[in-house]
Structure 1
Amino acid sequence: MTYVIHGATGAQGAPVAAALAAAGKPVTALTRNASAVVPGARVVPTDYSSPEQLIAAYRGAQGVFVHLPMAAEEDRRRYAANVVAAVQETRPGRVVVSTSGDDSGLQDPSGNALGALVAGLEESGASYAVVAPRLYMENLLLPPVFATTQESGVLRYPLGPGFPVGWSSHLDVADVVTALFEQTGITGTVSVGQDPAVTGPQLAEAFAGRLGRPVTYEAMEPAAFGELITPLFGEQAATGVAGFYAFLGTLPDLPVDADRSAQKLLGVSPRTPAQWLAALDL
């Protein structure tokens, strides 16, 4: 029996694979790169677009960690259908899905890949849970963001200074995923992030403490942020990210759901921004 981790060489999957391996669990790392090396794991080249590969990977699995990749929504819906079909065929012991920070699709299973994935898992009868982080603190380390913070002492991000967010780290999500693999009685959505939520100036204060110099916070327009990250992610993905932040600008805040938080349901608390930064080699 193994734990199957999608995207095990990426930002979301790698911490989950590492946490399970550190706990002595057998790990199967799924990646499109056949030559990838994942410490403590067996690497299996697998693509979401191949139902046959997914079925082979899931067969006999104790747990499966899924997060849909950034792609055109049509492709993501196809990937979601393939995952559900593979789960129905192989019946893994537990499936944990990450929303990757955007859970808006959970309310629209007909037109959204994430919603279709979760609805399909529900219909399959599989034991599953959904991990719902808000925004990742690792976004603040994207080269065009962190360079300005480090060089000019200005943390620039496409959120208003008074907009509080339940920020979390990829490491926090990995902690919650591993706990959900163990605590199979917890189902449904589990919210991951800071409670109370944290504002931009509070993030800047944490960076100031870590860098040992003053850091201020400055909001930027979502469209400008999209242009900034286009060289990293490509135009299509960057446009989607900019649109997401423009949508957030219509909201008053982005908190965790306290009643469904990892703190309440699992006893797992996220790292504070200062704790997260203290562990980084900046």
Structure 2
Amino acid sequence: MSYVIHGATGAQGAPVLAALRAAGKPVTAVTRDPGKLPEGTPAVAADYASAEELARAYEGADGVFVHLPLAAPDDRLAYAAHIAAAVAEARPARVVISTSGSFADAPDVAGGTSPVPADPAVARLIEGVAASGVSYAVLAPKLFLENLLLPPVVGAAREEGVLRYPIGTDFPVSWVSHLDVADAAAALLERPDLTGTVPVGQYPPVTGPQLAEAFGARFGRGVTYEAITPDEFGALIAPLLGEPTAAGVAALYRTIATLPDHAITPARSAETLLGLAPRTTGAWLADLGI
């Protein structure tokens, strides 16, 4: 029996793998690049496009950690269906899903119709796993602190003393690190009594100037916050991520800007249910040695 970790060499899966290994738990990585895994880590090759391969990877597992990879919308929908079918067939003891910051629910905005529908692929994944009857939980982060490490963002903060990001100056966000999501995922894999959606992130939420203050304290210099438009941000990151991905990111931030905030609901948060306080921005920077 083992915990099966998707994306075990990536930004989200690797910290989950590390957290479980540190706790002495048996792990199996689902990865296309086993050479990047820690030495001695068992690995299995299973394609998101094959429900049969995924089912073989999940068979007999104590738990599965999964999140959808970046891909074309139709591919993501297919991947979600395949993962759900594999879970229904193999019936691992537990599944923990990360929404990766996608909208998993349509939030009630000012008592009216939400302008933010759920991500279709994430919704299909959650609905499919829920329908299988397998014990599951959904981790719902908002925005990852690691986004701030994109070279145009952290570079300007370090060299110019300006943290530029496409969030309004006074707009509060429950930022969260991949490390916090990993801690919550590792805990939830062993808590079959906790089901449904578990938000994870800083609460109270923080604003851009508060982020800049934390960066300034870490860098030992003054750092101010500058809100830029989603399109300006897209142009900054396009050379790194490519035009299509950058356009999708810009669209996400245009959507976020329609909301009153981007904060978690604390009543069912990982801190409330699991006792896992998320890292502050300063503590996260220190943990990474930035």
Q: TM-score, with normalisation over the residues of structure 2?
A: 0.93
Is structure 2 residue 179 aligned with structure 1 residue 146?
Answer: no
1:10-32 superposed Cα distances (whole Å, 9 cap, x missing partner): 00000000000111111111112
Instruction: Indicate conservation of the 8 Å contact 2:137/2:196, yes or no.
Output: yes
Q: What 5-or-longer segments of structure 1 have no aligned partner?
A: none
Matched residue, 1:131: 139
Matched residue, 1:7: 7
Deviation at 1:232, TM superposition (A): 2.2
Q: What 5-or-longer segments of structure 2 have no aligned partner?
A: 108-116
Matched residue, 1:38: 38
Is structure 2 residue 256 aligned with structure 1 residue 248?
Answer: yes
Matched residue, 1:17: 17
Deviation at 1:243, TM superposition (A): 0.2
CA distance in 2, matches of 1:265, 1:61: 24
Instruction: Indicate conservation of the 8 Å contact 1:166/1:254, yes or no.
Output: yes
CA distance in 2, matches of 1:205, 1:178: 31
Matched residue, 1:100: 100
Deviation at 1:233, TM superposition (A): 2.0
Query: Quick one: which of 244, 247, 255 aligns to 1:239?
Result: 247
Query: Quick one: which of 159, 163, 169 aligns to 2:167?
Result: 159
Query: Quick one: which of 187, 192, 207 aligns to 1:199?
Result: 207
SS in 1 for 2:43: strand
SS in 2 for 1:229: helix
Higher mean displacement: 250-259 or 127-136? 250-259
Deviation at 1:3, TM superposition (A): 0.5
CA distance in 1, matches of 2:129, 2:51: 15
CA distance in 1, matches of 2:191, 2:288: 29
CA distance in 1, matches of 2:39, 2:258: 42
Deviation at 1:39, TM superposition (A): 4.4
CA RMSD after TM alignment: 1.5
Matched residue, 1:59: 59
Give identity over the alignment, percent.
59
Q: TM-score, with normalisation over the residues of structure 1?
A: 0.96
Higher mean displacement: 225-234 or 265-274? 225-234
Query: Quick one: which of 199, 221, 224 aligns to 1:213?
Result: 221
CA distance in 2, matches of 1:82, 1:5: 16
Deviation at 1:143, TM superposition (A): 1.0
Is structure 2 residue 268 aligned with structure 1 residue 263?
Answer: no
Deviation at 1:276, TM superposition (A): 0.7
Letter in 1 for 2:211: L
Instruction: Indicate conservation of the 8 Å contact 2:102/2:122, yes or no.
Output: no
SS in 1 for 2:226: strand
Is structure 2 residue 83 aligned with structure 1 residue 83?
Answer: yes
Is structure 2 residue 194 aligned with structure 1 residue 186?
Answer: yes
